[in-house]
Structure 1
Amino acid sequence: MSAPHATPPTQPASPQEGLRFAFGTLTVLPVPVTRWDRGAARLGMLAAPLVGLVVGGCAAATGLLLLVLGVSPLLAAVATVAVPAVLTRGLHLDGLADTADGLGSGKPAGEALQIMKRSDIGPFGVVTLLLAVVTQVAALAQGYAESWARGAFAAVVAATAARLALTAAARTGVPAARPEGLGAAVAQVVPAGRALTVGVAVVAAAGAGGTRFGTYGAVQAAAAVVLSAVVAELLLRRCVRRFGGVTGDVFGALAETAATAALVVLVLGG
């Protein structure tokens, strides 16, 4: 997920190059990034929810396979949470922990950013990471216990909502906190209007998928995406005020926060 070397572009990025950027930077899947420029980044961040759909599908498939093999809903939930972590090399979870340390440090922005760059994890990061993972596992375990299909659907929606938070954070008007890194590479590449359009499409798709579980399921799925976006936006604004902008760690924190919020909403009323 680091910046590759690429030939300077001579023409606008194609959709295929945007998808390569999205999968090549947001996952460990063997997808080569052929262009590393603002045009490719724009299309890539717009396609981030599609990455979430694939990651969530892999996570759900793993959970369902284990359930078929006879494991408990709890163990299936653990495996489901582990798959996105593996597919991102744990960078989103690491970003969540680092961001928590930075926010909790009480230091000026420059010093807080230095704390976030360290390889170790402080107490704020440990507690935040533990609470997020435990909440995700508990919510998925409840979903699987109620219905295998409901648990799998929750995994897909949560992963997609997580990447939608990345699209929103890459919109114009949200600056980078540092001049280097993945955060700077994708900061302000997405026009705000197009980010909103993608958000509406994800909400509509989630609602359509939720119709499998009745009217309540459709409303709940759509609400999960909306509320996860609201929670992520609150965190984003806090980070911008605190650090002066976004970093790669902040993007990771937003994804994990959105996923956790979505999962909680998806098991309410179960």
Structure 2
Amino acid sequence: MSIKSFLMAISTYSVLPVPQFQWTKENWQYAICWFPCVGILSGGLTAAWIFAAGYFGISRVLFACIAVTIPIVVTGGIHMDGFMDTVDAISSHQPREKKLEILKDPHSGAFASIYACVFFIVSLGLFAQLGPVRSAYMICPGYVFSRSLSALCAVTIKNARGSGMLNSFTEGIQRNKALTIIISILVISGAGMIVTGGPAAALPVGLGLLSAMWYRHFTIKTFGGCTGDTAGFFLQVCELTMLAGITIAGGII
């Protein structure tokens, strides 16, 4: 793997300014393996905000508002865009081919807007309930964990269209090598959640794994495979599910 693949992953999945390179197979190959590293940016900023909110006694509402926006701002909303496109496709109740066409439509439908609001309201409520406490730090390595699961799904699930950016990132990749890297990052980030949260981490980690299993069945049944949009949909669902687990576990343990 080259540094160019790493920088292309950062450039594609975040707003961090990095040197740009020509889009060639040599440059983008294995970029998907570096995708989880984007979670370090979201996790690092979130950790800093949790500390600042606790140190300065910031209200839970303001804490939650900023916490919800950090990963969206860091990524430029690319995954939320996929979430909204996928919701539109699902809500259409059309045949598979039509659903895939809807995924490519740049316009947002009513259901996309409605469920985006639902997502943010639930996220806001969960962060407000959790507050800037020690257990909240579990979400920081969780952003790496969720992206590792997303990359794992992208490599192991066939592409529904056989084209697009995600297909370019996974086509022709040496699968065993990619899986070794992605699973290693998955294990490390999962361990980071356990170190941070102790026994409480078992719930969000388990929910993250279950959401990946559900997504695999869902995307194959609904779309015939994965796409960049469904991958974004999964990431948002996975992180919301893990946040719910952290909030529940943090209040019990």
TM-score by length of 2: 0.84
Deviation for aligned residue 1:41: 4.0
Which residue of structure 1 aligns with residue 236 of structure 2? 256
Equivalent residue runs for 1:149-188 within 5 Å: 149-151=134-136, 153-172=137-156, 174-187=157-170
Q: In 2, are the aligned partners of 1:98 and 1:116 still within 8 Å (CA)?
A: yes
Q: Within 1, Cα distance between the matches of 2:240 and 2:247? A: 11
Listed one character per residue, the Cα deviations across residues 49-98 of structure 1 (whole Å, up to 9, x for unaligned) are 22112222123323443554443122112111112111222121111111
| Distance change in 2, residues 1:110/1:260 (3 Å) | same
Instruction: From 111, 116, 120, give the equivalent of 1:124.
Output: 111
Say which structure is richer in helix.
2
Q: Distance in 2 between matches of 1:72 and 1:180?
A: 46
**More divergent stretch after superposition (86-95 vs 132-141):** 132-141
TM-score (normalised: structure 1): 0.79
What is the alpha-carbon root mean square deviation over aligned residues?
2.6
1:47 is paired with a residue whose SS is helix
Structure 2 unaligned regions, length at least 5: none
Alpha-carbon distance in structure 1 between the residues aligned to 2:38 and 2:17: 13
Q: Evaluate the alpha carbon distance shift between residue 239 and residue 29 of structure 1 in structure 2; reply closer, same or farther with a 3 A threshold.
A: same
In the alignment, residue 96 of structure 2 is paired with which amino acid?
A
After the TM superposition, which residues 90-239 of structure 1 pair with which residues of structure 2 at under 5 Å, given as runs?
90-144=77-131, 147=133, 149-151=134-136, 153-172=137-156, 174-187=157-170, 189=173, 191=175, 194-195=178-179, 198-199=182-183, 201-212=185-196, 217-239=197-219
State the identity %.
25
Q: Residue in 2 aligned with 1:5? A: none
List runs of 5+ in structure 1 lacking aligned partners.
1-12
**Paired residue secondary structure (2:237):** helix
- Residue 29 of structure 1: CA displacement? 0.8
Equivalenced residues, count: 249
Q: Which moved more, 1:19-28 or 1:225-234?
A: 225-234
What is the Cα deviation at residue 46 of structure 1? Answer: 1.6
